[in-house]
Structure 1
Amino acid sequence: MEAHVKYVPMRMNVSTGPVTAGLRPLSARSVVLSMLLAVHPPELPVKDLIRLVEPFGVGGSTLRAALSRMVAAGDLWRTDAVYGLSDRLLARQRRQDDAVHPRTRAWDGDWEMVVITATGRGAAERAELRTRLTALRLAELREGVWLRPANLDRPLPDGLHRVAVTYTARPDEPAHDLVARLWPLSAWASTAQTLLTTASDAPSPADRLTAFAAIVRHLLGDPVLPPALLPPTWPGSELRTAYAEYQREVVASVGVEGRVRGC
């Protein structure tokens, strides 16, 4: 599902009802991306796209204009009457899939630690590395020192060794105290509950889509901590379940329900 709800919209905002929780209505481009990000493989005939986006207020001419712009911008490829995500957006789909279906393992108390050793990098390079490490659900303890509980079933990228060294660590500080320093869990949980309410109360299909786009974006920031380190009412699983059910609902509406990951 399209995660970037703050994308500057086209002339036509497809949501005509009130948008709550400070969410911006999605553009035609964002609606198209939301549909393609939901299916596997991420490609659909234009006739299916027309059927999918119509409930969200996107007409045929608006859709075709958006598709043309997206192909020209490198967001999509086109073969005959079929449109699919470009390689760049396939990477986004993988990140979103992982946010909804994170792969975890039992936690034995170990922590992943990444210490940045590269020097002389420009601001853009530093920002890009910070984005990469955040996407790995690492958190920065102090400048250049990133860590998290070692409960994710995924390797660190091969290229990371060129700019950092990695360790398996057992901090002396109590794990709950360290988690509290690294992640604003109360704020994340509060936003999650607000988004769940917003999605449940959304007055139109377009507003529901806007809310669920914000939900999947919020899931990208879930640290996916071991259960022992989470607050007792952590809403992460509830948020994932709500999004997965909505994803199945949207895709099933055009008869391709078997193409949602996890179905």
Structure 2
Amino acid sequence: MTDSTHTGGRTERPEIPTRLVVHSLVRKDGTVDADQLYDVAYLLGMSETQIRLCVKRLVAEGRFTQEGRGRRATLRALTDVTGSLAPDAAYVRHAYRQDAGHSPWDGTWHLFAFAVPESRRTARDTLREHLLHLGAASIQNGLYVAANPVAEVVEAHARHLGVIDTLTCLTTADLRIGDTDEPRALAAALWPLTEIARKHDHLAAFTEGCLARLTEEPALSGAERLTMAVELAAHFTTAMKPDPLLPPELLPRPWSGARARSLAATCWNHLRQTSPDGTDTPLLFALYSDALLSTHEKGPS
């Protein structure tokens, strides 16, 4: 995989799986044009052999059918690919609402403790991973804290796993870890904010390069714009996946996440406006337009 050159320099480029490229080019009618697929894959530094093998696996798994051969082929999705393409829309909307100051922090910390026996290790590990996915941080073994009110979701998941009787939920406005009790200092100690900010900085740098290219080269081909959209989606996911979406009151100022998300929404809007709206439009555009743009453009509902 080559380094991204959209910024005019070297930027960290997330690994883009070949099957994600296939999924990204599924159109509203459920088909993928192989000629377009090979063009985009080439611009991403992938070989035709990689794509052929990927398509062969997807067909063998029953996820796609193939009509025709080579660049003249048409793939048809037999399963829903949307889950692999776009981030959770509610999660992204919450991020943009926080960035706009529409979800202020009330000073409450949400704590979760559980002691699932070793015989239920799978359920214990699943509950822990779910807490981390929701933006919680570990304070010590079996004790987690979140800044956002996620208790209802955590309890529902614990009940689904059959370990609700081991879960304790509580809230406090007086959290102290060692000698640290100042909220912003606690957040810096509990979450890897430097690493999260670094990922957002890479997203911002890539997006700025895309916006410059869209301005300087308005006649970009359809394949080039699709390639940019696939890369933007990959960068956005890489930046957002580890982000606990802490309230702005707990973050360094200015926060690179807010800037990166604003740039991403602006870039996506440019790409959306220059893409035809019809059955030939990849689902990727509709999914990200809904997730990134609705709150960014409209403000609070």
Structure exhibiting the larger radius of gyration computed from Cα positions: 2
Partner of 1:114: 112
Deviation at 1:228, TM superposition (A): 1.5
Partner of 1:3: none
Deviation at 1:245, TM superposition (A): 4.2
Cα deviation per residue 1:203-234 (whole Å; 9 max; x = unaligned)? 97757744651332221211211121121110
Do structure 1's residue 145 and structure 2's residue 169 form an aligned pair?
no
Partner of 1:101: 93
Identity of aligned residues (%): 19
Partner of 2:20: 30
Q: Distance in 1 between matches of 2:38 and 2:257?
A: 28
Do structure 1's residue 45 and structure 2's residue 53 form an aligned pair?
no
SS in 1 for 2:105: coil
2:184 to 176, 184, 191: 176
1:222-241 map, 5 Å: 222-241=243-262
Q: Distance in 1 between matches of 2:243 and 2:105?
A: 17
Kept in 1, the 8 Å contact 2:87–2:237? The answer is no
Unaligned runs of 5+ in 2: 68-74, 98-102, 176-180, 214-223, 295-301
Structure with the higher fraction of residues in helix conformation: 2
SS in 2 for 1:181: helix
In structure 2, the CA distance between the partners of 1:141 and 1:159, relative to structure 1 (3 Å rule), is same
Deviation at 1:235, TM superposition (A): 1.6
* Equivalent residue pairs, number: 242
Q: CA RMSD in A?
A: 4.0
SS in 1 for 2:113: strand
Q: Distance in 2 between matches of 1:238 and 1:124?
A: 38
In structure 2, the CA distance between the partners of 1:27 and 1:92, relative to structure 1 (3 Å rule), is closer
Do structure 1's residue 66 and structure 2's residue 71 form an aligned pair?
no
In structure 2, the CA distance between the partners of 1:140 and 1:121, relative to structure 1 (3 Å rule), is farther
In structure 2, the CA distance between the partners of 1:188 and 1:127, relative to structure 1 (3 Å rule), is same
SS in 1 for 2:94: coil
Q: Distance in 2 between matches of 1:245 and 1:133?
A: 31
Deviation at 1:120, TM superposition (A): 0.9
Unaligned runs of 5+ in 1: 1-12
Deviation at 1:21, TM superposition (A): 4.0
2:242 to 183, 205, 221: 221
Q: Distance in 2 between matches of 1:69 and 1:117?
A: 41
